[in-house]
Structure 1
Amino acid sequence: MEHNASFAATIGFFDGVHKGHQFLISRLNEMAHRIGQQSMVITFDRHPRQVVHADYVPQLITPLNEKLRLLNLTGADRIEVLHFDTSMAALSAHDFMLEVLHRQLGVSTLLIGYDNRFGHNRAEDFDDYVRYGKDMGINVVQNTPIDVEGMRVSSSLVRRLLAEGDVSAAATCLGRRFEIEGTVEHGYAEGRKIDFPTANLRPECDCQLLPDDGVYATRICVDGGPWLKAMTNIGTNPTFERSRQTIETHIIDFNANIYGQHARIEFCQRLRGEQKFDSVDELKTQLQRDREATLAYRY
């Protein structure tokens, strides 16, 4: 099916929709409107490596729903989600450009991220894309990288910062705070016994990347309500000798029943790493300090 509409497009997995992605898409929007085309952001419904390597479990900064919500805020005229499967994985870059971009989607201008490669085994590079594009009427343009506060922004950098627990630097790269969303479920209820009741969050997506174990100053939004000050512990609760990693949030000055409700947690600052305490009293004293540090944080 040939398209009548002419699109200027960019393509990528766009995990995190970070400042590098935002810069690429804003440049795409400007370029499209300057040459009288509509802008299109093309992404995939799953990580390509999940299809190529069956046992690969990605660690996503933004699961699909959140990624699409953020892409829709970029001002692009159209967001196109391709279903990535084995037949798509087998396409060479040339065939992908011809069959999918040119014939199926009507792309006539392609803006490529400075380090982006596509096609089977990612075997070709930018010069190859330019050459193929000339043959099929697609003008291929390369974007420049973006540095934010001395950091070359990429999804892998954001993942590394989160794995180190540096949620503040990750927020600088993302242009917003890192978030996890999911459902509040019943936990072990140990916090309730020591006057620190917690909401236990089960992430919406099994592939959700979690920051490093530790305690964070956070904000939580329950079922679309107001943002509330909170502190969140990610870890296995070594004081209580648990082994399963949990996300437990103590909402400050709040005691409503929110089991089963949808919640979003925004990570503001890491307070400390996870610790094992010799007694529950020691843990309680530390939690009081964490609470004071959370209240002192300027949200």
Structure 2
Amino acid sequence: MDATIAIGLDDVEAAPSVVAIGFFDGVHRGHQSLIARTLKIASERDARAVVVTFDRHPMEVVNPGARPPLLMTLEQRLAALAAQDVDLVVALPFDDSLRHLSPMDFVDHVLAGPLQATHVVVGANFRFGHKAAGDVTTLADLGPAFDFTSEAVTLLEMDEAVVSSTEIRGAIERGDVAQAGRWLGRPYVLEGIVVRGDQRGRELGFPTANMQVDPRAAVPSNGVYAGRFGLPDGTWQPCAISVGTNPTFSGVTNLRVEAFLLDFDGDLYGLEAGVQFTHRLRDEVKFDSVDALIEQMHADVARTRELLAD
């Protein structure tokens, strides 16, 4: 059963809790390991298992120009956290009021209120409080005054790297969606609304769903990918995905994410959908002719079929 989701603490009922805190962008394997530890301790203490996150990336408030591209929308992140078998997910509004809390005031406001934290689980690189003045040592030092214990979970390592949102963003920006998927524990999904494009794909025999994505989202580097498109009935339709500016045609300057659904005929306009990226097929190329582009598109679709059949 999925968790209860609360925006802020005002409507949260008071109960002893074991609390995990973090932004959790991507809810990747490292986050899942931390939450699994939270669940274990909550079970041992017969307490509520709670995940505390924030409604926006802290850098969006502290230094908007330095905010990284995001792996998930807030809605995606809350849904993924709620599916981790915890009892409650709390999204704190990260505003100027929260931003300026000292580490002690943060603990008092967030952990010592209705959450009644008895134990707090964080990543080894966790920072909190005004100007990120608090760290895992600060949290441990404050615990006795507020009657909770705490622990810092060692960051997970896979493929000779620490699994982190930053590493996953880097893989996506390089177009290495397979590596990003290994660290996430599932294919990377980019969400958006299907909008009307210039209809050029239809003219070429490859009608595409043109995705209008959140400008804050992490978008794979320009190229062609294999993946799946989420349909309203909950199924995922195999597709070939183009990310780029269609350099074979002049006049296109804005970045486009377009999915050609294999063996599908239907109207997708206006649909809020997700596109899974599973494999990178090739770089974006400017072709000498439309015929050469069409020939390559047939090859891309054939390769997509092979990869997704496996």
**TM-score scaled by structure 1?**
0.95
1:139 to 149, 161, 184: 149
Greater mean alpha carbon deviation, residues 116-125 or residues 33-42: 116-125
Q: Distance in 1 between the 2:84 and 2:160 partners?
A: 24
Cα deviation, 1:151-194, whole Å, max 9, x if unaligned, reads: 31000010000000011110100000000122111111111111
1:175 to 172, 185, 196: 185
Q: Distance in 1 between the 2:273 and 2:159 partners?
A: 31
Q: Distance in 1 between the 2:62 and 2:165 partners?
A: 20
Residue 221 (1) aligns with residue 248 (2):
no
1:210 to 194, 214, 219: 219
Residue 128 (1) aligns with residue 138 (2):
yes
Helix, strand or coil: the match of 2:219? coil
Helix, strand or coil: the match of 2:50? strand
Give the letter for the 2:115 counterpart: L
**In 1, are the aligned partners of 2:238 and 2:308 still within 8 Å (CA)?**
no
Where structure 1 has 5 or more consecutive residues not aligned to the other structure, the ranges are none
2:85 to 66, 75, 93: 75
In the TM superposition, what is the alpha-carbon distance from 1:293 to its structure 2 partner?
Answer: 0.6
**Equivalent position of 1:269 in the other structure:** 279
* Percent identity of equivalent pairs: 36
**TM-score scaled by structure 2?**
0.92
In the TM superposition, what is the alpha-carbon distance from 1:55 to its structure 2 partner?
Answer: 4.6
Q: Distance in 2 between the 1:225 and 1:28 partners?
A: 30
Residue 63 (1) aligns with residue 73 (2):
yes
Give the letter for the 2:78 counterpart: L
Residue 20 (1) aligns with residue 30 (2):
yes
Give the letter for the 2:131 counterpart: N
Q: Distance in 2 between the 1:146 and 1:49 partners?
A: 24
In the TM superposition, what is the alpha-carbon distance from 1:224 to its structure 2 partner?
Answer: 2.9
Q: Distance in 2 between the 1:168 and 1:125 partners?
A: 33
Q: Distance in 2 between the 1:264 and 1:126 partners?
A: 36
Give the letter for the 1:42 counterpart: V
**Equivalent position of 2:211 in the other structure:** 201
In the TM superposition, what is the alpha-carbon distance from 1:262 to its structure 2 partner?
Answer: 2.4
**Equivalent position of 2:57 in the other structure:** 47
Residue 287 (1) aligns with residue 297 (2):
yes
Report the count of equivalent residues: 298
**Equivalent position of 1:185 in the other structure:** 195
Q: Distance in 2 between the 1:143 and 1:268 partners?
A: 29
**In 2, are the aligned partners of 1:222 and 1:262 still within 8 Å (CA)?**
no
Q: Aligned in 2, Cα 1:287/1:29: closer, same or farther, shift over 3 Å?
A: same
Q: CA RMSD in A?
A: 1.7
